[in-house]
Structure 1
Amino acid sequence: MIYLILSILFSTGLFVIFKYFGIYKVDVLKAIFVNYIVAFIMGFALTESSFTFSEIPNQPWFIGATCLGALFVSIFFVMAMTAQRNGVSVTSVAGKMSVVIPVFFGVFLYNESVTVLKIVGIIIALISVYLASVKEKSTVSKNAGLLFPVLLFLGSGAIDTILKFVESNYVPKNDVSIFSGSLFGIAAAFAAIVLIIKSLKKREAFGVKNIFAGIVLGVPNYFSIVFLIKALQTQGFESSTLFTINNVAIVIVSTVVGLLVFKEQFSIKNKIGVALAILGIVIVALA
C-alpha cells in the first residue's frame, strides 16, 4: 500500500508542477524533454543490478519500453490539443476515465475477481472523476470535437494496460529501475526528434528556465512510475483495484491541492465528486 500512496503523491506533484509551468511561461515541450533525460539518468543511477547499455536492447521488456516511450510523447501532444480545443475539464475526465481500459483487461487477461461490490465501486469512482473535474465555466474552442478526447482516453488506457502487461511478464523486481530508466530514455529520444523538427521551422534558444523546470519535473515523474510498478508487483493487489484507486485518488488530491494552493473554484458538483471518490475508493478496496 505504501508504494501506491507514494505513486499517488508523486503523480499529484506532477499536476502541481505543470500548473506552475503555466504561471512562469515554461516551454512545456523543452521541459518535458529535459524531464525524460533526468528520469533516464535516475533510473540507471539508482539501480541495484549490474548492467551494460549494450545489453538493454536484448532485454525481454525492451519492445514494451519502446512502445511506452512513444506513447508517453504522443499522449502528451494529444493532451495538449485536448486542453486547447475542449478545455481542461474534458482533458482531466478523458485521461482519468481511461481507467476502465486496464480494469477491463485486468479482469479478462489475468482472471481478476469481478464482484457486484467492485463493479459498484468502479461505477461510483467513474462518476466521481467527472464531477470532481468538471468546471462551471470552461472555454471550449469552436473546433472542439470528440477526436482528441477519444484519443486521450484510448492512449492513457493503453499506457496503463501495456505497463501492467510488460511488468507482469517481463520485468523482474530487481530490474524496475533499469526498465524505468530505459523507458524514459526512449521517450527522451522521441521528444528529441520532435524538438529537432520544431527547431527546423523556428530556431530559438533552449532557455535555462526550461532546463530547470525539466529537472524539477523529472524527479517526481521518475518516482511516480517506479512506485506504480512496485505497487503492481505487490502480491495480492489486483491491477483493476490498484488502477481505480490510483486514478481516483490522484483526482481527489489534485482537486484539494487546486482548492487550497491555487484557490481554484470548488463547485457543489466538485464537492459531491470528491465525496463520491472517497466512497468509491473505500468500496473498491473492500471488494
Structure 2
Amino acid sequence: MYFLIISILCSVSVSVLLKLARRNGVDIAQAVAVNYPVAALCSWFFLHPDFSNWHKYASHWIIFLALGIGLPLGFIVLGRAIEQAGMVKTDAAQRLSLFLPIVAAFVFFGESLSTNKIIGIALALMALLTLLYRYNPAKSKGQGGFFQTAGYLFGVWLCYGTTDILFKQMAKSGTAFASTLQVAFILAAILITGYLCVRRTVWNAASIFAGLLLGCLNFANILFYIRAHQQFQQDPSLVFAGMNLGVITLATIIGAFVFKEKINGLNAAGIVLAIAAIWFLFYGSSLNSWLPGI
C-alpha cells in the first residue's frame, strides 16, 4: 500500500508544482523540456530497459512519434489547465481520461463491455459536463473565459486518454514497457527542446530547476505505480481505483484548503460523479496491462 500512496503523492505534487510555476517565474515549456531527460535517466537506472532487440521498435515509429509529441503537449496543457481552472477540476479531468482507453479497450482491442463499464462511462460523461460548468463564464482575475478554460480541461482529458491508448497499443504489440517509456522520454525531450531552440527561447534558472524536480516526480509516479501493481498482482482494480480516487481526493483537499480554489455545486457533484465513474470502471475489472500516460 505504501507504493500506491507514494505514487498518489508524486502525482498530486506534479500538479502543485505546475500550480506554483507561473507565479515563480517558471516557463512550463522549459520545465517540461528539462523534465524528460531527467525522467529518461531515472528510467535507465531504475527500470533497466532492454534494447537488445532494438530493430523491433523501428516498425512502431508512428506510435513513438505520437508519444513524443503527445507527452510534452499533455504536460503543457495540464499546466495551462491548472492555471486557468485550478487543481481540483484539472486533476479530475486528467483522471477521467481513463474513459478513452476504456472505450478503446472494447472498440479496438476486443475487450467485452460489461454492465459496470457501461455505468462508469455514462457517469464519466456526466462528470465531465458538470466539471466544465461555471455559473459565471465572464473572465475573472487569474482565469480565462469559459471556452478557454473548458478547452484546456478538454485538452487534458484528450491528451492523457490518447497517450494511454498509445501505451496500450505498444503493450499489445509485445514491446516491453520500460523500453517503450525510455524511447518515448528521449523522443519527447528531443522534439520539445528542438521546438524551444527554433523559437530561440531564453532559458532561466527557475525553469531548469523546476524541470529537474518535475522529472523526478514524473518518474517516481510511474515507478511506484508499477511497484504497486506488482505488490497487488491479484487485485489490479484496487490499484487502478485507489490511484484515481486518491489523486482526486487529495487534489480536492489541497486545492480547496491550500490554494483556496472555489467550486460551485455542480462542480462538486462532478467530482463525486468522477469518483463513482472510476469505481464502476475498475471495480472487479482485470485491465492489469494499463499504465498511466504522462
TM-score of the alignment, normalized to the shorter chain, above 0.5: yes
Spell out the pairing of 1:1-287 with structure 2 (5 A cutoff): 7-48=7-48, 57-60=54-57, 63=61, 64-77=63-76, 87-88=84-85, 97-132=96-131, 134-137=133-136, 139=139, 140-141=144-145, 153-172=157-176, 176=178, 178-199=179-200, 204=202, 206-227=203-224, 250-287=247-284
Q: CA deviation at 1:155?
A: 3.5
What's the secondary structure of 1:68's corresponding residue?
A: helix
User: What do the CA deviations read for 1:124-177 (whole angstroms, capped 9, x no partner)?
Assistant: 2443344456555553449859987766554432211011121233333xx62x
Relative distance call for 1:243 and 1:258 in structure 2 (3 A) is: same
Residue 137 to residue 237, structure 1, CA distance change in 2 (3 Å): farther
Q: 1:185 to 1:48 in 2, by over 3 A?
A: closer
Runs of 5+ unmatched residues, structure 2: 285-294
Return the alpha-carbon distance in structure 1 between the equivalents of residues 149 and 133 of structure 2. Answer: 17
Amino acid at match of 1:45: F
Taking structure 1 as reference, are residues 149 and 258 closer, same or farther at Cα in structure 2, changes over 3 Å only?
closer
Letter in 1 for 2:127: S
Equivalent-residue separation in structure 2 for 1:244 and 1:106 (angstroms): 17
- Answer with 20-29 or 105-114: which moved more: 105-114
Gaps of 5+ in 1: none
CA distance in 1, matches of 2:111, 2:234: 10
**CA separation of 1:95/1:283 partners in 2, compared to 1, >3 Å: closer, same or farther?**
closer
In structure 2, distance between residues paired with 1:256 and 1:168: 37
Cα distance between partner residues in 2 of 1:73 and 1:43: 17
Q: Provide the rounded CA distance (Å) in 2 between the counterparts of 1:76 and 1:123.
A: 27
Q: 1:8 to 1:229 in 2, by over 3 A?
A: same
User: Secondary structure in 1 aligned to 2:266?
Assistant: helix
Identity of aligned residues (%): 26
Number of matched residues?
274
How far, CA to CA, are the matches of 2:33 and 2:259 in structure 1?
26
The 1:246/1:97 distance shift into structure 2, 3 A limit, reads same
Change (3 A) 1:283 1:47: closer
Alignment partners' CA distance in 2, 1:110 and 1:142? 36
The root-mean-square deviation of aligned C-alpha atoms, in Å, is: 3.9
Whole-Å Cα distance in 2 between the matches of residues 247 and 142 of structure 1? Answer: 26
Counterpart for residue 288 of structure 2: none
What TM-score, normalized by structure 1, do the two folds share?
A: 0.74
Rounded Cα–Cα distance in structure 1 between residues aligned with 2:80 and 2:275: 30
Deviations 1:80-132 (A, max 9, x none): 67789xx5378777655543321111113333332223311332244334445
* Change beyond 3 A, Cα 1:187–1:230: farther
